[in-house]
Structures are given as structure tokens and as C-alpha cells.
Structure 1
Amino acid sequence: MAGRWVLRIGSLVVGLVLWQVLTATDAEVWLRFSQLPTVVEVAQRFGEQVGGADYYRDLGNSLLRITSGFLLAAVLGVTFGVVIARSRLLGDLLQPSLEVVRPIPAIALVPIAILLFPTDEQGIVFITFVAAFFPILVSTRHAVRALPTIWEDALRTMGGSRWQVLLRVVLPGTLPGVFGGLSVGMGVAWICVISAEMISGQFGVGYRTWQAYTVVDYPGVIVGMITIGLLGWLTSSAVELLGRRVTRWLPREASA
């Protein structure tokens, strides 16, 4: 295990050293590294931002938007996925409309969100919700339909009701697929919330990154990008960790 962490940290260090060398020497090998800030400049700018209150206010705003939109998407995505997969009538009623909306990029709904919602904050949460909703919905629907029917039949032969089948077979059996959708949904939600903040936000990591670009603060832009990457990694890792905890009862492959 220690060897794997050494390898991971080593690869990161090599990447940073290569970045520093290429930018410090103004290398131009088709790509113009002379236009990028060095690692030292980015580190200095990062230290300045971490020492100010605006950085943490932006973090809090982005995390609040992600949490609100993602939790709503998780509840409704799982609910609709189960309903559509389990009920032919409701599937016929709901799935056509959802399938028409699903290919539309969530960020393309920004003008609609501006028209529909009285505040930009509500519109950004809506964009985040839409971005996460469909991956969760589709993963849940496929997970429910992939369940072996013999599991349900076994419980029914023992007198199990529809609710018991749902609670003891369907929901536990679909958890791996559901958490796969949640992990994907979290990543997509971050992409869209940052884009929405750049377009119509007043605070947040995306807004601050765009503001840095408009004033030609390229180290600040890189700091914003790194912050976005770290936030996305931490939140996705949290979802995957929760998924492993919840599905501990599943058989695992032996490690090599």
C-alpha cells in the first residue's frame, strides 16, 4: 500500500517539475508554455488567496450549490429510476418526456433557468440538479431492470408483499448501480455548476476563476482550476467511499 502512495505522489511531483521547467524556460514546442505561469507563481497566488476571506466564501457558495442540487437529484433520480423500471404505465407516461430532455446539455438550460427562477442562485442550483439527475436516473433504471427475477420470485413465494420486494430485494440489489450513477452525477454536476457560475453567478469558484481571467490574472485562473479539481475529486471520493460502506455485504474480488 505504501508503495502505491509513493508511486502516486512521485508521478505528481514529476508532473509539477516538468511544468516548472517548461514554463520557466519559456519552452515553445508547438505548445506555447511561455504563456503559462510557473508553478512558483501559482503557488504564491494560491497562498495569497488562501489567506483571504473571499476564497473560503467562494468555496462555501460552490459547495452549497453542489450539495443542494446533487441531493435533490439523488432523491428524485433514484425514485424516478425505480418507478420507471418497475411500472410499465408510469414508464410509458414519464420516459418519453425525460428522454427528450436528457440529451440537452444542462448548461444549455441557463437561459431557461434565468427566465424561470427569481434569483440566479436558484437557477444555478437547478442547473446542478439537472446535470446530476439524468446519470443517476439512467443508472438506477438499468440496475433495477438487470436484477435477476429469481430474487423477487423467491421472496414472493414466501409471502412477501410488493413493498417487501421493493425494500428487501430491489433497493439493496440496485445499490452498486445507483452509486455508480451518483459518482458520475457528481462529476457532471461540478462541470455544470462551475460553468453556470461563470455565466450568471456572483460568488463561487467558477465566478472567481472567470473574474481572474477577465483581469488577466493567469496564476489566479490556474488556482481556480486546481481548486475545482480538488473539490471534484474529494466529493466524488466521498460518494465512492459511502458506496463501499453501504455495499459491504457484497462479495469482493480477492486483491492480487
Structure 2
Amino acid sequence: MATPSAVATESAEGASDRDEGGRVWRSRAIRLVSVVAAIVVWQLLTANHIRLWVRFDTLPTVTQIVHAFGHQLGTGTYWLDLGQSVIRILSGFVLAALAGVASGVALGRSRLFSDIFGPLTELARPIPAIAIVPVAILLFPTDEAGIVFITFLAAYFPIMVSTRHAVRALPVIWEDSVRTLGGGRWDVLLRVVLPGSLPGVFGGLSVGIGVAWICVVSAEMISGRLGVGYRTWQAYTIVDYPGVFVGIITIGVLGFATSAAVELLGRRATAWLPRAGAEAK
């Protein structure tokens, strides 16, 4: 038979779970309402040809964009462009993740590697990746390889810098503890450096995927033959403004989906960490 204190504890836990569930659903409802409100305001401003500080009368209405979106979804060209952009972003981002994490760990752990490679990265890092488009066109035999290279550069530096800082911020006592127990260099790397730097690594990956989307779309507009960015710019040149917004919305959805996937993977990989401010998220 349960004691009164046990019953009270279970009741308190149940109430806490209900409160937490209520907060989650309330947060989701507020986010949904904010998006719907923005769409309604857009429709009212464009349908009524409002001119304030900006000219909403020159922009397509929500209904026009929805109609164009429905038409695009029924064409093979839309899905071909979408698939091409996704292949480019994944190719460049995966290469950047591998190279960025490896070089970031090496820069954080090896003074010799930092002396040799560090100055080169600091000189190249401030250069916008999109400014390398002319070089990529000259350097690679195909536009496809050049666009993937631009995407790689865009994602590489945020990942590398975040990983390097995360490795250098690890407490020295962690490494000393492993070595005291007889661990070698690989034990320190696998048991201290990589797990300890994971939050910083995924922070860099999250930033990197966002910057990569900016640059891949820009590169597609400049030198692409297929892709969401190329098709968006083409729609602008033929004065198909609803088509432009179809491209913009597609880019936003793709960016949101890939960023959410990186964040979800990061939360799964660092599930052992305490979550500060989880309620605010």
C-alpha cells in the first residue's frame, strides 16, 4: 500500500509533467500563430497595394504565390532543381564537416600544425566564399565542381574555428586524469577531446550549414545551370515575381530542414550534457 508521501510525490510529478506538456503546446501554438499572422499581413498589404516605406504594390500576393507554388510542384523541373541543390549542399557540407573537424582538432592540439596551417586559415577566413566564384570557375573543369567547392569553403571555416576553440577550451585536468590512469595519445583523443568538444563542433556545423546555403544559392545564380538559386534568378529575369518567391520559400524550407537535422543530430550526440535554459527553447 502506497504511503501518503509517495502518493503526494507521484501527484506532484504528474502535475509537473502536465505543466511541461502545456508549456510545449502553448509555445508551438504561439509560433504557428506568428507565422499565420505574418502571412495574413503580407496578403493585406499586397492585395490592397499599400505603399509605406516600401512598395508592397509591386510584390505578388500570397494567393498568387500559392498558385505559382502549386504549379511548380507539378513540374519535373522544380524537383530536378531541388534535388540538384540538395546534392550540392550535402556534398560540400559533408566534405567541410570532415575537413573542418579534423583540422580544428589538429589546430587545437598541435603547436606545429597551428604554426604551419594556422596563418593560412586566418588569411583566407575573412574572404567571402562567394568572392571565390571567379577562381572556382578558372580552377575546376565544370561548374558543378566549382559550386561544390564554394559550398565547401563557406561551411569549412565556421566548423574549423568552432572546433578549434572547443578543443582549446577543454580543461587540462581531464587529459591529466586519462594519462594518470595509463591512457595514451589516442585515449586522450577518443575519451576527452572528441566527446568534450562535441557541443562546439555541432555549434560550428549549425552555423556552417546556414552559411553554405547562402553561398550555394549565390553560386547557382552566378554560374549554375540547374538548382533553386539558378531558377529563382531566371524567374526574376523574365519578371515572374511569384516564381521568385517560390524559390525564396523553397530555399527557406530547405535551409530550415537541414539546420533542424543538424541540431537534432547534435542533441542526440550530446544527450549526456545538462540542458541549460531548455524551457526557453
- Is residue 271 of structure 2 the alignment partner of residue 253 of structure 1? no
Corresponding residue for residue 166 of structure 1: 189
Quick one: distance in 2 between partners of 1:255 and 1:188? 25
Corresponding residue for residue 88 of structure 2: 65
Corresponding residue for residue 238 of structure 1: 261
- Is residue 200 of structure 2 the alignment partner of residue 177 of structure 1? yes
What is the RMSD computed on CA atoms of the aligned residues? 0.8
For residues 64-213 of structure 1, the aligned pairs below 5 Å read: 64-213=87-236
Quick one: distance in 2 between partners of 1:125 and 1:253? 36
For residues 205-224 of structure 1, the aligned pairs below 5 Å read: 205-224=228-247
- With over 3 angstroms needed to count, the CA separation of the structure-2 counterparts of 1:255 and 1:163, relative to structure 1, is closer
Corresponding residue for residue 14 of structure 1: 37
- With over 3 angstroms needed to count, the CA separation of the structure-2 counterparts of 1:104 and 1:254, relative to structure 1, is closer
Tell me by how many angstroms 1:254 deviates. 6.9
Number of positions where the alignment pairs a residue of Structure 1 with one of Structure 2: 256
- With over 3 angstroms needed to count, the CA separation of the structure-2 counterparts of 1:115 and 1:2, relative to structure 1, is same
- With over 3 angstroms needed to count, the CA separation of the structure-2 counterparts of 1:123 and 1:25, relative to structure 1, is same
Quick one: distance in 2 between partners of 1:183 and 1:29? 36
Quick one: distance in 2 between partners of 1:41 and 1:205? 19
Deviates more, 1:183-192 or 1:21-30: 21-30
- With over 3 angstroms needed to count, the CA separation of the structure-2 counterparts of 1:255 and 1:181, relative to structure 1, is closer
AA aligned opposite 1:55: Y
Quick one: distance in 2 between partners of 1:30 and 1:140? 43
Corresponding residue for residue 4 of structure 2: none
Which stretches of structure 1, 4 residues or longer, exceed 3 Å deviation after superposition?
Answer: 253-256
- 1:57-109 per-position Cα deviation (integer Å, ceiling 9, x unaligned): 00100000000000000000000000011010110000001110110000000
The alignment partner of 1:131 has SS state of helix
Q: Percent identity of the aligned residues? A: 66
TM-score (norm: length of structure 1) = 0.99
Structure 1, unmatched stretches of 5+, are none
Tell me by how many angstroms 1:251 deviates. 1.9
The alignment partner of 1:28 has SS state of coil
Tell me by how many angstroms 1:11 deviates. 0.7
Structure 2, unmatched stretches of 5+, are 1-23
The alignment partner of 1:31 has SS state of coil
Corresponding residue for residue 31 of structure 1: 54
Tell me by how many angstroms 1:253 deviates. 3.3
Quick one: distance in 2 between partners of 1:105 and 1:86? 27
Tell me by how many angstroms 1:5 deviates. 1.3
Quick one: distance in 1 between partners of 2:86 and 2:109? 34
TM-score (norm: length of structure 2) = 0.90
Quick one: distance in 1 between partners of 2:131 and 2:63? 37
- Is residue 75 of structure 2 the alignment partner of residue 55 of structure 1? no
Quick one: distance in 2 between partners of 1:27 and 1:254? 41
